[in-house]
Amino acid sequence: MMQIGKHRRMDVQALWNAAPARYPELTGRTAVVTGSSRGIGLGIAVRLAREGMRVVVNGRTAETVQEVSTALTACGAEVLAVTADLETPAGVDTLFDQTLTTYGGVDVLVNNAADVKRYHFFEVDDTLLDHFLQANIGGPYRCAMRAARWMRDTGRGGSIINISSIGGLQAHWTGLPYDVTKGALNMMTMAMALELAQYSIRVNAIAPGAIRTYEVPQEYRTDWEQFQARIPLGRAGHPMEIGAAAAYLSSNDAAYITGTILPVDGGVMAQIYPKQSPI
């Protein structure tokens, strides 16, 4: 993903109004969406709440988590705000202990929280590598473990959705260790899908391409337009388009889908090279 400028504060009410509910079977179910106080996670949280789900909003900063929770509640959603750092086992326990105490269970887990920064190979020391492993693999693994145990033990099954990246399918120029962790997340998705299928737990991943979650300063507008022109559909995606994919994978319409990595990328993965830059 091309990162230019600061994350913008998306208008939750406007997102809510623009998203029609399509899956009535999701009404009243509980979804945990990690890293949902901004960006892609916020888009997913809004869409699942719009479907009538009880949504657990999570982030590391209490102020932003509460802000999103308040905005969703004002739209009519049922929301639980949980501030927790999911790089640590204690943070994962906080998230799921509060969820189970408040709602009694979890039907959908969306593992969205991640560090999306990218570095050159020689810039990655042991400390940075360990951080990425915990943020992008350890956290999702532990969250999946907590959710899957409840889904298995109650016999209710459920859906686990990992938010990966097209960088987990093909490498970015300057993509370490981010692409490594997203590739591992894809394999984790497939392995979990096989082992959890017997418990009616489906595990899939969404691989976003360029999703605009930030404001583009005026001085970068030309670069931004050139960047979008390299995408076959001619534009970057919107967080709500990732939310739509998550809603579908959570629904009964996706009941026969597990172990899948779904690119939502405007066609980027379908091309060998952009037409403007032939090899």
* Residue 274, Ramachandran bin (φ over 0: left; ψ between -120 and 50: alpha; else beta): beta
43-48-54-57 Cα dihedral, nearest 10 degrees: -20
Cβ neighbours of 63 (radius 10 Å): 9
Whether 273 is catalytic: no
Instruction: Point out the catalytic residue in the list 103, 119, 141, 178.
Output: 178
Q: 158: part of which helix (H) or strand (E)?
A: strand 158-163
Helix 62-74 and helix 39-50, axial crossing angle in degrees, nearest 10: 30
Q: 184: part of which helix (H) or strand (E)?
A: helix 178-196
Q: Is 7 exposed, middle or buried (0-12, 13-18, 19+ CB in 10 A)?
A: middle
Catalytic positions, please?
Answer: 178
